[in-house]
């Protein structure tokens, strides 16, 4: 009976993996912020620790990031394994809501890809069981917390935590706090499971564009951020060749940077 249950469980996992990859593809990775779709496309099965990035459709989001000295992508999240064993996409402020949430991965990716450009930075090195457990614990603990709207708005002011103060320890990880904005949440999640160095990571000073390129206009983050364990960003799509025609904002998005 035990053997039969194990076989059924293995079969279910196999079917799940097949279903996950059936409507999930990545084009070839490149550190390029553009609209080009680099063939060939390959099946993509999400894994914990993969980083999701997307452009913002709203003009206010584009202008806000431009005023903060950055550009596209304007949103980010990280794939985690939930307590029930399923995969979820952890985000702060998904689709402009004012809380943190864990959503089913593929439906959530599709909801963005219908209106925006979506990229995935895959892990080169799979998470260990201990790292998986730590990431799960962090994700479940922040699920439902508030989106840090006021702190996000401060990013377009001179009071943003993005300058020389970072050298003196400002902006260090808080591990758990009452609210997060999107890039901050991803950085804190990575620190929680040992994917980023807690001594040199500055979550409150990070933007999605830093995760995309692995470098930053901020000198401290540019010196200390190491994302060698992730592959370059690759465009995600549910079905190659069916991507919507998206309006281009090269100046606000910084597509050529």
23-44 pLDDT per residue, tens: 999 999 999 999 999 999 999 9
pLDDT for residue 224 is more than 90: yes
Q: Which two tokens stand for residue 179?
A: 């609210």
| The pLDDT of residue 255 | 83
Q: How far apart are CA 199 and CA 173, in angstroms?
A: 8
The CA-atom distances, in angstroms, between 74 and each of 102, 117, 158 are 19, 10, 20
What is residue 227's predicted lDDT score, i.e. its pLDDT? 96
**Taking all residues of the chain, what is their mean pLDDT, rounded to a whole number?**
88
Percentage of the chain modeled with pLDDT above 70: 87
Structure tokens given for 85: 């064993």
Q: What is the pLDDT of residue 6?
A: 35
Higher pLDDT, 248 or 109: 109
| Cβ atoms of 172 and 202 closer than 8 Å | yes
Element (H, E) at 76: strand 75-81
Please compute, for residue 176, the number of CA atoms within 13 A of its CA located in the half-sphere on the CB side: 11
In sign, the C-alpha dihedral spanning 155, 190, 100, 177 is negative
Count the helices and strands in the chain (H runs, E runs).
9, 10
C-alpha closest to that of 210 among 226, 194, 197, 199: 226
Residue 126: per-residue pLDDT: 96
| Between 242 and 145, the higher pLDDT residue | 145
Cα 174 from Cα 172, distance rounded (Å): 6
- Asked whether the CA dihedral 257, 109, 49, 233 is positive or negative, the reply is negative
Among the residue ranges 79-88, 103-112, 131-140, 159-168, the one predicted with the least confidence is 159-168
Where do we find the tokens 């402009």?
96
Is the Cα dihedral 196, 202, 207, 209 positive or negative?
Answer: negative
CB atoms within 10 A of CB 244: 10
Query: Residue 8: which pLDDT band, with cuts at 50, 70 and 90?
Result: very low
Of the listed ranges 25-39, 46-60, 154-168, the one predicted with least confidence: 154-168
How far apart, in whole angstroms, are the C-alpha atoms of residue 161 and residue 220? 11
Question: CA–CA separation, 102 vs 104, rounded Å?
Answer: 7
Q: Which residue has the tokens 């699920």?
A: 143
State in Å, rounded, how far the first CA of the chain is from the last one.
Answer: 59
Q: How confident is the model at residue 170 (pLDDT cuts 50, 70, 90)?
A: confident
Structural domains of the chain, ranges and CATH numbers in brackets: 20-240 (3.90.1720)
* For residue 125, pLDDT beyond 60: yes
What pLDDT is recorded for position 159? 67
Backbone phi, psi, residue 147, to 5°:
-80, 135
């Amino acid at each position: 009976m035990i053997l039969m249950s194990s076989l059924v469980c293995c079969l279910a996992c196999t079917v799940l993996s097949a279903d996950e990859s059936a409507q999930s593809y990545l084009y070839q990775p490149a550190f390029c912020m553009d609209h080009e779709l680099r063939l060939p496309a390959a099946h993509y099965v999400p894994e914990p620790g993969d980083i999701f990035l997307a452009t913002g459709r709203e003009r206010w989001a584009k202008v806000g990031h431009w005023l903060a000295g950055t550009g596209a992508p304007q949103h980010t999240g990280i794939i985690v394994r939930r307590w029930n064993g399923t995969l979820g996409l952890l985000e702060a402020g998904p689709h402009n809501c004012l809380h943190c949430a864990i959503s089913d991965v593929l439906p959530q990716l599709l909801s963005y890809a219908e209106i925006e450009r979506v990229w995935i930075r895959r892990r080169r090195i799979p998470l260990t069981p201990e790292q998986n457990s730590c990431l799960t614990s962090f994700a479940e603990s922040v699920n439902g917390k508030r989106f840090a709207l006021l702190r996000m708005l401060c990013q377009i002011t001179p009071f943003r935590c993005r300058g020389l103060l970072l050298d003196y320890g400002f902006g260090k990880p808080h591990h758990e706090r009452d609210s997060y904005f999107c890039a901050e949440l991803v950085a804190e999640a990575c620190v929680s499971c040992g994917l980023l160095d807690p001594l040199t990571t500055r979550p409150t000073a990070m933007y999605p564009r830093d995760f995309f390129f692995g470098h930053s206009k901020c000198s401290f983050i540019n010196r200390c951020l190491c994302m060698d364990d992730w592959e370059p960003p690759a465009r995600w799509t549910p079905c190659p060749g069916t991507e919507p025609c998206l309006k281009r904002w090269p100046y606000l998005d910084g597509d050529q940077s």
